[in-house]
Structure 1
Amino acid sequence: MEVGSLPVELWRVILAYLPLPDLGRCCQVCRAWRELILSLDNTRWRQLCLGCRECRHPNWPSQPHLEPPSWREALKQHALATRTWTQNGPELQSSACLLFFRRRKDRRVWHVGSGCEFETLRGALGVVGPYDRVVLHPGVYEEQAEVALKVPVELVGLGQLGEVALLVCMEQQCPTARLCNLVFMPPWFSTVVYKIVMLRNEVCECRASGVFMRLSAQGLIAENNIHSNGEAGLDIRKGANPIIVCNKIHSGLRSGVVVLGNGKGSIRSNQIYNNKEAGVYILFSGNPVVNGNHIFQGQAAGIAINENGRGMITENVIKENQWGGVDIRRGGDPILRNNYICYGYSDGVVVGERGRGLIEGNHVYCNKGCGVWVMSSSLPQLLGNYITHNCMYGLAVFCRKDPENIETREANWPGQEGIGGDGGSGERRGVEGEGREGQENLNEEGELFAWESDLDSEDERHSARRSISVALVESNCMNYNGAVGLYVKSSEPLNVFANLINSNRGTGIAVLQSSQLTRLVTNCILENGRGGVTVEKDCRVELRGNGIYKNSGHGVSFSGNGQIVENDVVGNRGYGIQVSGGADIKVLRNRVQPAQGCGIAVQGPVKGVVHDNLLFQGHPGNKKTLLHMDPGNENCVLRNNSVLRHNNSCTSAPPWVLENPPPRPLASSPSGLSSSQYPSRLGISMTTRISATVENGCHSGSMFCSIL
């Protein structure tokens, strides 16, 4: 419903009945709805803030007669503070982030407060020695300038939680400190940026996260051993932007590193391993840089990007994880570049329902599932990846949606033994970066603070890549995989340009379902264990400018609707091009040379045209008809096709090669890049010139191509 369809006053009455999560959802509809929700600050937001006891901090407001600048912002701060404190349990003298605190026999205890030896915190910190304790009596302590912690010190609030409040901006210059039973409120001069330096510590067996950073916190976390914690090893959210380098983050009961709620951070050169859930989990607009890490032996995905998470994920080694090496879904939109994703116990890369992302230049190999597994509802860009030696499909594109429950996939997928069959029988389990149980509290917070998201951030999300409306598979190598190289069973359009697909155990490309147009353009499909390209009935496929060489079955087996235009189909062991069933097809300007069988065979009630094709005889002993159409077919037109055969009596005829144009795939490309940059050009070296003769008077001066 449009906002302008009702008066604003009436909307305010209606929205007064909505709970907090529903207000957050309304805020995400559009800008007009967002502005309407924000306009309720003195009405609905004030009512929620004053009526929510569990979110209302005991020490706010310190001056009850003054209203806050924003009731909505006050509610947010209260909710975050209460959540943070309650996660650490009811013991007010406990610390979740520091289990061991060095004590000295001669350490002193200093008291701060009215009538005590110091009236200000700054005065006490000016005289404390290393590891002394500073006890703050009930009250509000405000400083007009930044306070520095120069030596390790213990700051403890006296009384109940909320009776001691600090309006102080602190800079920690010491290696460690302990802060307990204190409430921090941002001072007027502070931008609420906390700088933390955490070096060579052991952080373990915390009930919650080992290290928790939020509210734009910055700093350096380096060379720490963070392990065996009840939640994430590191939890980064609310604009925090730390540098996390050279740590060991392992053996956690949840994820190794969680980045959410507009959290950022530079996560570099860490060892992240043996965590129960994802090694790195990015969601709710988290946007870190994850570079040069070794992420291995996790019990779920290596890296999971979910719920509109982003991130620049480069040059990591991601191996031996139980689920997908990288799992992207539900609005996840990362840049995944130059990673090694290998030896996983499932698929290398999973792009689940509504997943996006730029997946470029990665080496995806030796995974027990597929190299890359994509849902039809996703829009990834796969550019220049090497997808090799995986046990199942190189790249599989499926129309299925994620199942609601995690299910076990069948051990043997169709096509795993080299048969490009139907992939519909084996249910794909729902590969999540986090377990269902593990997402509950993150989802709860995502709903609670959905209204915090910045709608303007959408524009920068895709600035580093091409804008696309169709999933794109371009310039990849898909080699030596255990089943079909590229398996398509999709309900969405798909563009497949300039890929090298060779030496897979099954068919090079199998299109079993394609209700929207699948475009296969300028690919090199070479030496696969079955046919080159298989297209089943009712599929819509354009096959243009491809080189289909020396596959063990038919070069092209086509039962669908579409076009086969300007391809080189050479040296395949079965037919060159077989068109069958009730296909409605155009077969135009192809160059075909079968090694043994028929060049072009039209079988069954095929409709369409077959014209201007050039057919070469392969082996001189191949006596089969090069151009065949079943008798009685009145719906298919054959015209202007040239058929060239050997003539052993003629020795003066010139050698034949593919030229004008040279062997396909063509040098031009959809993206306008140089053909030398495309993996598909690697297959052209297999095409070479040999001597042969043709019948006298039949296209003297033409060229003939074969495969050595």
Structure 2
Amino acid sequence: MEISGLPLELWRLILAYLPLPDLGRCCVVCRAWYELIISLDNTRWRQLCLGCSECKHPNWPNHPDVEPQSWREAFRQHHLTSKIWTRNAQDLESSNCLYLFRRKKDRKTIFVGPTSEHVNLRSALAVANVYDKIIISPGVYEEQNEVTLKVPVEIIGRGKLGDVALLVSFDQHCPTARLCNLVLMPAWFTPVVYKIIMIRNEISQCKASGIFLRLAAGGLIADNNIHSNSEAGIDIRKGANPLILCNQIHSGHRSGIVVLGNGKGIIRSNRIYGNKEAGIYILYNGNPVVSGNHIYQGLAAGVAVNENGRGQILENIIRENHWGGADIRRGGDPVLRKNLICYGYSDGVVVGERGKGLIEGNTIYGNKGCGVWVMSSSLPHIANNQISRNNIYGVAVFCRKDDVNDYLNNQGGDENFNDEGEIISWENDFDSDEERYTSHKPITVALIEFNNINHNGAAGLYIKSSETLNIIANAVHANHDNGIAIYQSSQFTHITNNSITCNSVGGVLVEAGCKVELRGNGIYDNSSHGVTSKGEGTVLENDILGNHGYGLQLLENADMKVTKNRIQSLHDYGIAILDQAKGAVQENQIFRGKVGKTILEKTENPEKCTVQSNEILACSKNSCRSGIAWKLDNPPARPLVEGSNRATSMVQTRQRVASMTTRIAATVEGGCHDNGSIFCSIL
């Protein structure tokens, strides 16, 4: 049939149904048919390539979104390399390793071992021909010089994975080879960086770690089932830098993945669940990129970062873990960004003693403890997070310290993290590959800014600290206690430019002995008093309006300077100065509410409390009834945050929550603790 008989678009539609042999026959008809078949590259050839169960995307795993130059050529190369090895094979299904070339019927089998014809690998390779099989008995085999692979051979370890270890440096001259069921370790005489490829294996019930990578080892570990091992599922240390992709890592007796000793790696799109310790444990300058993983139902923390560990923890789902979803302590300094941390049986994020790090853009939702639990002596930067519907506080800062014994006994205490004097060298051996780590500016004061903290079971922010704390530009809304409660604060807590609204009790509570600066906040529509203070400090340029109790209440021995605020209460006094409270109340605008009470209630204490130069604004009955008694226009209603990206970030956060929560179904029971993190002294 002539091609010109039909339009090319119709031909392409018809030919898309042809199997591979028929496409090959069409190619040899004539030049026109050949060019027509070649033109199917982005349709039929792409479909054949991706439809082959043994054929990965040509640019997998690093760039699976990048199209190859030719789908037909990619499929042809895969077909030819597979055909070489599997031709006439009798035991095709005996291994899950990649088949890079095919076996021959007349190949021989050579045995290596203490009681075999060859006692080492070198002598076996000396007599091997093309495609021969070398089977090695259990043991450790070390070669003093490089071993040359001159012809394609298959080298197989006998027994379980880990029974055969090769301390060998290979010099490969042949185009391909096949290695199976072996543990490869660097030889003593070479700094060779090993590139390991492990795909579709089951690695289980090892007496140590399932996979152990060190001495700058790299490569790909993908699509494996790693479970029930006595130590970590995967252990990455001493500069190892693998790609850990699409594995199931579960049911381990220790952590799922451990990264330490300047270990790096990209840990992406894995399912990590049901491990007895942390899903991912980063320490001693470990610095991986952990992204897109599902970390769930672990018996300890989802991700733990300790002992100067770093890393980027990005866009993971961390849910239903028994301890903190993320636990950062003892110099841990990660970037924790855009994760969904939810339905944990303790707190969402725990920042323990000397913990640091940037906690940004996460959704921390529905945890049985606090959303974020911070110890004194830690310096986190908590920014742009959605912290909502946690059973206790949204964010809590406590004066607590780690119990050293509990810490060591419950998280890595008897793992061999100090072998060969590694820790001493790690302290002074920071890697220079800083482009892998999106650093954040160090801070000297713990900072909580631009977060949306709402609908939590207790106070939005609960402060019981002995150190300075900055709380800036947060939206603290509809929490089931006070918006912000400060119970201990010997150093100043700076509360600036926050929106504190519709909380079930008061807006801000400051207990006796606490020091606080309230500046530029909007404190609206809370169910009790706007601000209650028994402590000392300043209340400057805030809008405290529409609250159901007093607008501002000073009690006991409070010593506050209240200046240039706009204050109003719906049902009570605008300002109440009671007991032995002292300070200065001046230059405020005080609006009358809807009831007949006076605007200012004050005990007789004139020598200690100055009240002067305040502007009293009353409203007529008609204007009060209409609800437009006055407007906040000079300046506009506070908070005023110039250059803030909070509105944009909140929209993005809500969209992310909607997309991520559709993938999660979990139910947790209620429960509450009133003085600190659940399991606060251990990871």
**Bin of the TM-score, shorter chain as denominator length:** 0.7 to 0.9
The equivalences for 1:420-569 within 5 A come to 436=410, 438-445=412-419, 449-454=423-428, 464-569=439-544
1:280, 1:289 → 2: CA distance? Answer: 11
CA–CA distance in 2 between the matches of 1:139 and 1:462?
Answer: 37
Aligned to 1:68: none
| SS of aligned partner of 1:516 | coil
Contact 1:583 1:606 in 2 (8 A): yes
Distance 1:674 1:307, change over 3 A: closer
SS of aligned partner of 2:382: strand
Instruction: Report the secondary structure of 2:413's partner residue.
Output: helix
Q: What displacement does 1:125 show?
A: 8.1
Measure how far apart 1:581 and its partner are.
1.8
After superposition, residues 681-700 of structure 1 pair within 5 angstroms as none
Q: Alpha carbons of 1:653 and 1:146: their partners in 2 closer, same or farther (altered >3 Å)?
A: same
Q: Which residue of 2 aligns with 1:648?
A: 621
Aligned equivalent of 2:608, options 618, 635, 638: 635
Q: Deviations over 1:539-591 (max 9, x none)?
A: 11000000000001100001111100000011101000001222221100000
Q: Deviations over 1:288-341 (max 9, x none)?
A: 010000000001111110111111000000000011100000111000000000
Task: Work out the CA distance in 2 between the residues paired with 1:130 and 1:340.
Answer: 51
How much does 1:448 deviate? Answer: 5.2
Name the structure 1 match of 2:126.
124
CA contact (8 A) 1:267 1:290 kept: yes
Q: 1:295-694 counterparts in 2 under 5 A?
A: 295-404=295-404, 406=406, 436=410, 438-445=412-419, 449-454=423-428, 464-619=439-594, 622-648=595-621, 656-668=630-642, 672-673=643-644, 676-677=647-648
- Cα 1:297–1:176 shift into 2, 3 Å: farther
1:454 is displaced (CA, Å) by 2.9
Seen in structure 2, the aligned counterparts of structure 1 residues 207 and 463 have a Cα distance that, compared at 3 Å, is closer
1: CA distance between counterparts of 2:140 and 2:282?
Answer: 41
What amino acid maps onto 1:478 in structure 2? I
Shift of 1:109: 1.6
Q: Helix, strand or coil: the match of 2:331?
A: coil
Q: Residues of 2 paired with 1:253 and 1:185: CA distance? A: 30
| RMSD (Å) for aligned C-alpha atoms | 3.8
Offset at 1:608? 1.6
Q: In the alignment, which residue of structure 2 is the partner of 1:690? A: none
Count of aligned pairs = 544
**1:397 aligned counterpart, secondary structure:** strand
Q: Give CA deviations for 1:346-365 in whole Å, capped at 9, x if unaligned.
A: 00000000000000000000
Q: Aligned equivalents of 2:176 and 2:648: distance in 1?
A: 51
The whole-number CA distance in structure 2 between the counterparts of 1:139 and 1:640 is: 89
- In structure 1, how many angstroms separate the alpha carbons of the residues matched to 2:568 and 2:127? 87
C-alpha contact 2:517 2:539 (8 A) present in aligned 1: yes
Q: Distance in 2 between matches of 1:148 and 1:556?
A: 81
Whether the aligned pair in 2 keeps the contact of 1:295 and 1:319 (CA below 8 Å) is: yes
Q: Cα gap change, 1:121/1:560 in structure 2, threshold over 3 Å: closer, same or farther?
A: farther
Matches within 5 A, 1:159-308: 166=168, 168=170, 176-179=179-182, 184-187=186-189, 191-308=191-308
Q: Which runs of 5+ in 2 are unaligned?
A: 1-94, 654-683
Q: Distance in 2 between matches of 1:583 and 1:637?
A: 13
Supply the AA of the counterpart residue of 2:587.
Answer: D
- CA-to-aligned-CA distance 1:505-548 (integer Å, 9 cap, x gap): 01000000001110000000000010000001111100000000
Once residues 153 and 424 of structure 2 are traced to their aligned partners in structure 1, the CA distance between those partners, rounded to angstroms, is 40
CA 1:678 to 1:493, structure 2 compared with 1: closer, same or farther past 3 Å? farther
Deviation at 1:266, TM superposition (A): 0.4
- Partner SS, residue 527 of structure 2: coil
Q: Deviations over 1:349-399 (max 9, x none)?
A: 000000000000000000000000000110000010000000000000001
Distance (whole Å) between structure 2 residues aligned to residue 509 and residue 149 of structure 1: 73
Checking the alignment, whether the CA contact within 8 Å between 1:125 and 1:149 is kept in structure 2 is no
Q: Distance in 2 between matches of 1:354 and 1:163?
A: 41
Q: For residue 127 of structure 1, what is the amino acid of its counterpart?
A: N
Kept after mapping to 1: 8 A contact 2:120/2:141: no
Q: Structure 2: which amino acid aligns with 1:529?
A: S
Match of 2:63 in 1: none
State the shift of 1:627 in Å.
1.5
SS of the counterpart of 2:604?
Answer: coil
Amino acid at match of 1:229: N
Letter in 1 for 2:602: M
Q: 1:614 and 1:376 mapped to 2: Cα distance?
A: 37
8 A Cα contact 2:107 2:132, kept in partner: no
CA distance in structure 1 between the aligned counterparts of 2:410 and 2:498, rounded to whole angstroms: 40
Amino acid of the residue matched to residue 657 of structure 1?
A: K
Paired with 1:649 and 1:224, the residues of 2 have a C-alpha distance of 74
1:168 positional shift: 4.4
What SS class does the counterpart of residue 578 from structure 1 fall into? strand
Q: CA distance change for structure 1 residues 174 and 658 in 2, over 3 Å: closer, same or farther? A: farther
SS in 1 for 2:241: coil
Q: Distance in 2 between matches of 1:469 and 1:458?
A: 24
Distance 1:647 1:515 in 2: 45
Find the aligned partners of 1:478 and 1:505 in 2 and give their Cα distance. Answer: 11
Cα distance in 2 for partners of 1:616, 1:295 equals 52
> What's the counterpart of residue 108 of structure 1?
109
Change (3 A) 1:587 1:334: same
C-alpha distance in structure 2 between counterparts of 1:305 and 1:405, whole Å: 18
Give the partner amino acid of 2:187.
M
Cα deviation for residue 644 of structure 1 reads 1.5
The answer to whether the Cα contact below 8 Å between 1:139 and 1:165 also exists between their aligned partners in 2 is yes
Which secondary structure does the structure 2 equivalent of 1:481 belong to?
coil
Does the CA-based 8 Å contact 2:261-2:422 persist in structure 1? no
Mapped to 2, the partners of 1:624 and 1:139 lie a distance apart of: 92
Letter in 1 for 2:155: V
Deviation of residue 137 (structure 1)? 12
Conservation of the 8 A alpha-carbon contact between 1:121 and 1:141: no
Q: Distance in 2 between matches of 1:164 and 1:300?
A: 35
What amino acid sits opposite 1:333 in the alignment? D
The 8 Å contact of residues 157 and 164 in structure 2, kept in 1 or not, is answered as no
Output the CA distance in 1 between the equivalents of 2:492 and 2:567.
Answer: 24
**What is the distance in 2 between the residues matched to 1:117 and 1:355?**
53
| Change beyond 3 A, Cα 1:295–1:151 | farther
1:170-220 residue CA offsets vs partner (Å, 9 max, x unmatched): 79965642448x985254xx5420011111111111111111111101101
Measure, in 2, the Cα distance between the counterparts of 1:163 and 1:442. Answer: 20
In structure 2, what is the equivalent of residue 17 of structure 1? none
Q: Deviations for 1:96-141, whole angstroms, at most 9, x for unmatched residues?
A: xx9999999985226799x989995695386263542368999854
Counterpart of 1:350 in 2: which secondary structure? strand
Cα separation, 1, equivalents of 2:376 and 2:261: 28
What TM-score comes out, normalization by structure 1 length?
A: 0.70
